Structure 1
Amino acid sequence: MENSILHFITPPIPYFLDCGSAAYVVGDRHINRDRLGVFDLIVVTKGALAIGEKTDLTDHQWELQEREALILRPDAYHYGVTPCIRETEIIWVHFQTFGSWRECKDMKECLECQTELIENHRKNAFLHHCEACSIFIPKHTKLSEMELDILRELSMLDQEPQSIRNWKRQATFQLFIQHLDRDQSTTSDGAAFQIAEKIDLFIRQNYTKSLSNTLLQQKLNYHPNYLARCMLKIYGMTPMEYLTHYRIEQAKKLLLQTDWPVSRISEEIGFNHASYFSTSFIGKEGISPSAYRAKLTGRSR
């Protein structure tokens, strides 16, 4: 079975709920549970654990060895497959997300559905004015020693005073998720991710200026066709399409947070002509900048 990927849209970042450890003697098996309602991360630190997950469409089983991690879905049936044949220990972490997510068979499917998932996320999470992005977490993976150390630190925070324990747990869990996301991204297509991130960073730092494919070629030293292929693969749009997308995202913030006229906002985000800005905004949002402001704030100016 191919290793599937859990594709999360953020913000908000998947958040920590609870964690603990469990030990199994010979003959024990993982408990059966139906629709737990939270994501269940299981990491074997000693021995081996046979576990399965069943949905309406799939039924998969794993034999987890030491340092292997598996994330079980909140909407599935989890069951022990066979009894343990040797003493086994695990760390478990429950987490959840308020945002949109989907399990995909591979990174190609993740990227193909990314735009749709982000748009659904915006509607469900009411994030009309916030930039949304993807987190890619492997469903089944072998952890590095560093990642395992982070999990051990998470489970040891029970010794901290309650007033700071939850803060530290959230921060530690997010660090762990960040490692998994980075590992998945770089192993899937490291070159494309690195180039796309460079383009993304350059556009964010310079979006108010006049940008072009030629300028990107000069700054990043890659042919525009290669830059476009990398951006299309990772973000689903070309560099210039991403530039327009990012400018409009900044415009939405200014429409909600300021009383500036549309013409000034157009200039602030790098559009040379207010009419072109309005046309681009309508093309992406379906309504004019003024109508967008009125819809969310009641102000038409």
Structure 2
Amino acid sequence: MERDKPSDSRRGADVLNVPAYVLYGESWTQSIFGFFHIEPLSVRNIPNKWRISLHRHVDFDQISVLFSGKCTFEHDGQQWAVDAPSCVYTPANVVHQFIYSPGATGSVLSFSSDFATGLSSVEGATNAAILRLANARFISLRSHEQIVAMQGLMSLLTEKASSIHRNRRDALRYLFSCVLLELDAAASDHPAGSGVEIASSDADLFRRYRTLIHDTIGAIGFSDDAKPETHTVETFTTRLSTTPYALNAACQSVCGGPAREVIQNAILEQATRLLLYTTRPVKEISFLLGYSHASHFARFFKQRRGSSPEAFRNAVTGRTSAEPEPPEA
């Protein structure tokens, strides 16, 4: 069956027109490994009048901890308003922005997946915590004990991050592990929090799967040189040196669904980003995401978003493309 192919004509505006930063305002040029950084909210918010505009981070996740004030944040086109004390978890490649109330206090932690991999945990609790936090995105600190614990940990992390202590790296890892476990405990206190125990081996495999999906599907459309490929469970299991059975079991344990569903969710997230933040035609987006025909992509998107890709883009951004909508096969 012949694939739909995009036009050869390219425009600079077609690529994702949201900047990739290392830290906000610092352009990303190459992959970063073993990365951990912490700074007060005020460092980047005061110069930017408490508005951190749309951007993304290619190589690392972020945790934004708010001790006082309010903020409105956006993740891939969806907005939430939150009050302190709370935290927001932003996974890698998610297009996001934050608007804080002037004078808000807190900290922003940035960390690459390989830094998190090295965290010490006898039962694999830190891996499970990262997965739950990435799924929840927003956590309220409900008790005085949680607030005091987080304030103490932020203070210690800030101190150690700028120190010349010979065991600085290990100290940062252990303290960051404590942050994750405190936030995981806070998440479990929520009515919607998951108290389900996740086996260490399942959490580790799912975390590696999630990272690989983000690095693969999350990179689509971020440059002009993207090449389409088909994303299957078998492709990912080969790269992870595991079996479809083991990967499906890990996915069922962590998120209650099969490995294929995780891929489809990632494709939907990336399709949403490309529709919202680029001017690429729907046909080209479907091609880059690995669909043989735009009609297959349109049906997939409509089943999950409730509207066609073109209608979704128009409703959210108010703009349309010159191409007609592909008919549903």
Q: TM-score, normalised by structure 2?
A: 0.41
| Structure holding more strand per residue | 1
Q: TM-score, normalised by structure 1?
A: 0.44
The structure that has the greater radius of gyration is 1
